[in-house]
Amino acid sequence: MSRVVVVGSTNTDMTVRVPRIPAPGETVLGREFQITGGGKGANQAVAAARAGGRVVFVTAVGMDDLGERALAGLRREGIDIHLVRRVSGPSGVALIFVDDAGENSIAVAAGANAELRPEHVEPLEQILEPGDVVLLQLEIPMATVEATVRVAVKQQARVILNPAPAQALPDVLMHSVSLVTPNELEVEHLTGVTVNDEIALTRAADVLHGRGISTVIVTLGPRGVFASHEGRSEMVRAFRVQAVDSTAAGDVFNGALAVALVERRTLADAVRFGSAAGALSVTRMGAQASAPHREEIEAFLRDT
């Protein structure tokens, strides 16, 4: 069975529930406080594992208690972490506010994530096979992202890039990525197109197609998901749920999407599977903790 290989960040999330996100200079009295596993890479790896995938995760953590706790959590999920690097200095940390509408504001200190180097992904050449899916984000150095893509292309693995946090991407990278999954703010950053309707989404997707990407998927939160592939586009409706915390919803979507693509589902089915996982995640607090298991996703799809 093919695998999902995630290369990316690992953080410890420190989350405070607040009635509203503080404005600059404002102090807001919060309520619950949680310390949980996070980081876009780790979130996606956990989401993929819970969605039924065989997952290999490449990341870097510090020689500290937060790093030990992060690795213990990944092991409990059955994730292959033999390529994880331990580096000197602190592990990554994210400070998160979540308001009563489920919206969030996040600040990240990269810590060990900034030390994940191109040479650390070279061993992937020995394990990647055609049919595997490599899932990447942008909370690690760009040189490491580029090195991972080169190895994946050489080994004929499919590459999904979740371009978050948004930043400029070199053309050579774009031409090697199979599928890109920005949200609406990230796609605007990448293309310069304001995506306020489906026509604008199609225009933005065409910009990315013109840069060499065959499949563009834009996540739109409660508006759904826009998918464009081989000259055809489709808006996939969002599932209606009561959101309590949107943290990591995009990560959960990407992890489940990767599993569905490894299983050779159609793009439409893969997007629906990922959307169901993401919808379930926003009904729960936390990042990795909110990722649903496969039986939950399948039950949700049957009942919706």
Amino acid at 39: G
List of residues 6+ apart from 83 with CB closer than 8 A: 56, 57, 58, 120, 123, 124
- Any catalytic annotation for residue 251? yes
Amino acid at 210: G
Does residue 294 register a pLDDT over 90? yes
- What's the whole-number mean pLDDT along residues 285-303? 93
How many helical (H) and strand (E) elements, i.e. helices and strands, does the chain have? 9, 14
Q: What is the pLDDT of residue 102?
A: 81
Catalytic one among 99, 132, 251, 303?
Answer: 251
Q: What is the pLDDT of residue 234?
A: 93
Task: List, for residues 80-130, the tens digit of each pLDDT value.
Answer: 999 999 999 999 998 989 898 888 888 889 999 999 999 999 999 999 999
- What's the whole-number mean pLDDT along residues 4-21? 95
- Predicted confidence band of residue 71 (pLDDT cuts 50, 70, 90): very high
- What's the whole-number mean pLDDT along residues 72-84? 97
- Predicted confidence band of residue 291 (pLDDT cuts 50, 70, 90): very high
**Cβ pair 40, 162 in contact under 8 A:** yes
- Predicted confidence band of residue 213 (pLDDT cuts 50, 70, 90): very high
**Cβ pair 52, 79 in contact under 8 A:** no
Q: Sign of dihedral through CA atoms 65, 70, 71, 77?
A: positive
Task: List, for residues 234-247, the tens digit of each pLDDT value.
Answer: 999 999 998 888 87
The region that residue 150 occupies, defined by phi over 0 for left and psi between -120 and 50 for alpha, beta otherwise, is alpha
- What's the whole-number mean pLDDT along residues 286-299? 93
Helical segments of the chain, H only: 40-50, 65-76, 142-154, 171-174, 184-191, 198-210, 249-262, 267-281, 294-303
- What's the whole-number mean pLDDT along residues 8-31? 94
Does residue 18 register a pLDDT over 80? yes
